Structure 1
């Protein structure tokens, strides 16, 4: 099966340091992502994407591959396929470019199997996550939780 990548670019009316902090702060990720991202954010460290519903279920885990605050974060991304029992591994690169008081955020999720459920989840999930992050940073509140029902 061939591998694909998903790329998503957004412009956020917030400084790159604010966006960076929102990507790593568990209290912030819980607000806009519905998950807590836990790690010490050092190269080689484990990170986990844990449901914020109290179940402590880790939907995604991986390793921190590169950290260059506040510009670049690269993570390995491993998620279980609940339908087939297999683990899919991919990689996420998040780049922030300062545009004065605004930020260009680019997410590249690579090594995804073409036509897989993971590719579909990523291509629908990242736009929802980044849109909710953008809304939170620009308005101080998140979008209606119904955005997750569509994904």
Structure 2
């Protein structure tokens, strides 16, 4: 049975430099300030990366491989829940494209090869907008958003 795939694309403009945006994605001490997680890797093609909860337990929540890296303009990684790391069908792909755009940066995040209607597809469609909004706030003001916030009940 062929599983239907879907993708998610998010574009935002950030008053920053390509280098600072790229570092915000790849440097654990920066990522935890706007994401609540650290992205840990040596960022070489073929290397593993881990998405660690920035708390006392330091739970590994996501894992993957570095596919392509061209600082400060492009990063491509695979992405899977840590509990599904051994299932190749559970891996999706995330591409970060960082482009100078006049005096700012255009960041395009494409999360593709997602199984349609999966928990991961539903999660990233809600997760990426707040994480990337938090990154924008962090880079522009020094303060990220609460990425763990929940909608208020009506």
Paired positions, count = 146
How far did residue 116 of structure 1 move? Answer: 1.1
How far did residue 81 of structure 1 move? Answer: 6.2
Alpha-carbon displacement from aligned partner over 1:23-46 (angstroms, at most 9, x marks no partner): 111111101110011001011111
Q: TM-score, normalised by structure 1?
A: 0.91
Gaps of 5+ in 2: none
Q: Find the partner of 2:93 among 91, 94, 97.
A: 91
CA distance, structure 2, for counterparts of residue 140 and residue 134 of structure 1:
9
> Residue 150 in 1 paired to residue 150 in 2?
yes
RMSD after superposition: 1.7
Q: Which runs of 4+ in 1 moved over 6 A?
A: none
Alpha-carbon displacement from aligned partner over 1:95-149 (angstroms, at most 9, x marks no partner): 0111133000000001111111111110000001100000000111112x2x423
1:50 equivalent in structure 2: 52
Q: Is the 8 A contact 1:15 1:100 kept in 2?
A: no
Residues 114 and 81 (structure 1), Cα distance of their counterparts in 2 relative to 1, 3 Å cut: farther
Q: Is the 8 A contact 2:60 2:82 kept in 1?
A: no
